[in-house]
């Protein structure tokens, strides 16, 4: 086993097979006991998906939470990039196991904005590009459900797909660094109409189609990922994205984009979310705490903006 693993690592010139031998030397030739570390080759779709599900959600039907925080910057060609606001998000992530190696994962997201300097909840800020005072929209999004299967890339369930669906077997990019496993997912959206009608919302809507790129990076301890007793493992979370202007920024048809940069982690109890965050979410988005589901119908910041500003 050790020789085979060593050859595999040499052949890939980097990380190769992840397993007990990668952590603690050669495994015995006898059949593995149930408590032995998993043997995962992350170049194989089933094993890649196993690691991904343990980090992003769970292998079993289970609720977990993600909490992360960061900032939004405004990037206008020819001008300095400037911070506009901080953002903090909690996600209820619900896994439903459908069959062996097939899951539905549903997210309900609640986000709040904080002042860049004071880090306090804010309902009005100055747009550093226009100089105007604008009112940030604390927003909710979801439910959004993805189906995960080893046979194909993730598939959006019950909603129009804003990105090109890929039918090849599941695979997310990965790296090992010491005792840590990193997995990365990129998503690009371009060419579909903006959420808001530019005729009704000229100050809020770019004239170009939706243009979004996002990179989600997760990091977990390799021992946890290989532990068969853990269906869901502690995970650090990093999110970087660029997007069109958000409607509340009132940037009109100016060229440029928003830069998102956030970081946080998976938690298994809301007690592990900062107390001031829980309090703020309870005040601004009380429906997020409703169970069994926070809300039934899909929404996002654009739907909410349209509802709040009285235009259908």
Find out whether the peptide bond into 143 is cis, omega within 30 degrees of 0: yes
Is the confidence at residue 200, as pLDDT, over 70? yes
What does the DSSP assignment read for 148-172?
Answer: EETTEEEEEESS---S----SPP--
Place of tokens 């493992």: 233
Query: Cβ distance 186 to 171 under 8 Å?
Result: no
Q: Is 197 exposed, middle or buried (0-12, 13-18, 19+ CB in 10 A)?
A: middle
pTM for the complete prediction? 0.88
User: pLDDT for 115-143, tens place per residue?
Assistant: 999 999 999 999 999 999 999 999 999 99
Q: Pairing state of beta strands 139-149 and 152-157?
A: antiparallel
Query: Cβ distance 154 to 168 under 8 Å?
Result: no
What is the spatial distance between Cα 267 and Cα 113, in angstroms, rounded to a whole number?
21
What is the spatial distance between Cα 181 and Cα 55, in angstroms, rounded to a whole number?
10
Q: What angle do CA 155, 159, 163 make, to 5 degrees?
A: 55
User: pLDDT for 157-173, tens place per residue?
Assistant: 998 877 777 789 999 99
The confidence band for 10, taking pLDDT boundaries of 50, 70 and 90, is very low
């Amino acid at each position: 086993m050790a020789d085979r693993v060593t050859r595999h690592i040499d052949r890939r010139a980097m990380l190769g097979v992840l397993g007990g031998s990668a952590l603690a030397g050669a495994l015995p030739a006898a059949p593995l006991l149930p408590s032995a570390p998993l043997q995962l080759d992350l170049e194989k779709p089933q094993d890649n998906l196993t690691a991904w599900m343990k980090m992003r959600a769970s292998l079993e039907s289970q609720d977990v939470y993600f909490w992360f925080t960061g900032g939004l910057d405004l990037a206008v060609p020819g001008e300095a990039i400037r911070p506009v606001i901080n953002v903090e998000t909690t996600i209820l992530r619900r896994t439903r196991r459908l069959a062996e190696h097939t899951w539905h994962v549903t997210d309900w997201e609640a986000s709040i904005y904080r002042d860049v300097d004071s880090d306090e909840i804010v309902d009005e800020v100055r747009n550093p590009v226009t100089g105007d005072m604008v009112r940030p929209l604390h927003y909710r999004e979801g439910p959004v459900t993805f189906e995960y299967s080893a046979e194909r890339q993730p598939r959006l369930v019950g909603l129009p797909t804003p990105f090109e669906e890929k039918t090849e077997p599941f695979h997310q990019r990965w790296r090992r660094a010491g005792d840590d496993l990193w997995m990365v997912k990129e998503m690009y959206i371009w060419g579909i109409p903006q959420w808001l009608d530019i005729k009704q919302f000229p100050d809020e809507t770019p004239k170009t189609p939706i243009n979004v790129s996002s990179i989600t990076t997760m990091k977990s301890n390799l021992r946890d990922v290989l532990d068969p007793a853990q269906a869901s493992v502690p995970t650090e979370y990093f999110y970087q994205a660029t997007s069109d202007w958000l409607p509340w920024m009132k940037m009109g048809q100016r060229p440029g984009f928003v830069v998102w940069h956030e970081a946080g982690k998976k938690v298994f109890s809301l007690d592990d979310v900062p107390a001031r965050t829980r309090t703020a979410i309870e005040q601004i988005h009380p429906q997020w705490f409703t169970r069994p589901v926070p809300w039934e119908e899909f929404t996002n910041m654009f739907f909410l903006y349209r509802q709040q500003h009285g235009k259908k």
